[in-house]
Amino acid sequence: MAIWVIKDGQREGPYEEQDIRELIYEGTYGDADAAIRDGQFDWSTLGQILNRQPPPAEPAYLAEEPALSPPDASPELPPAEDLPGPEALADFPPPAEPAPPLQVSVVDFQMPFGSMIVFMLKWMVASIAALFILGAIAAIFWGACIALITVILRH
């Protein structure tokens, strides 16, 4: 999307996002310069549009004194011509195949006697609750079966 910038009272643009980033890198524009992106209704700053800084309390173009902004936390992008091309990846080996999943078998474990008793008691309480739930499901199932058989036999 096109971005418009106000610099020295003049509206400049439209620019693409990569072009704006390069112009900021060169020093032509700054994060506090007023800007608007196509589709937006309100002017904001270049830093906000490019997600380079949190929004200030009052936009810099409305403030009488320039607002101080925190230091830029995001790294500057180098120009596209400085980035390595696909030929730079030729020196790297291809990625290794992932290792097959390992199968694990527990043969023995050691546990203090008191901890084992607590573990068994918890297991027993959990199984009692599970039996109640299974019993309720079975009662609903058999009740539905009996009701169905009763309806069939009456007709």
SS3 state of residue 12: strand
Within the chain, what is the greatest distance between any pair of CA atoms? 93
pLDDT of residue 110: 85
pLDDT in tens, 116-144: 999 999 999 999 989 999 999 999 999 99
Please, are residues 36 and 1 in contact by the beta-carbon 8 Å criterion? no
CA angle 135, 137, 143 (to 5 degrees): 100
Structure tokens at 18: 């990569």
pLDDT in tens, 46-85: 888 887 755 555 555 555 555 555 555 555 655 666 656 6
Cα four-point dihedral sign 28, 30, 34, 36: positive
Domain-by-domain residue ranges, the chain? 3-82, 111-155
pLDDT of residue 92: 61
Cα four-point dihedral sign 111, 116, 122, 123: positive
Q: For the chain, what percent of residues have pLDDT higher than 90?
A: 26
Place of tokens 């700053």: 45
Its pTM stands at: 0.34
Q: For the chain, what percent of residues have pLDDT higher than 70?
A: 71
- 82 to 22, 53, 78, 85, 126: CA distances (angstroms): 12, 25, 6, 9, 64
Structure tokens at 46: 């270049």
**Using CA atoms, how far apart are residues 108 and 105, in angstroms rounded to an integer?**
9
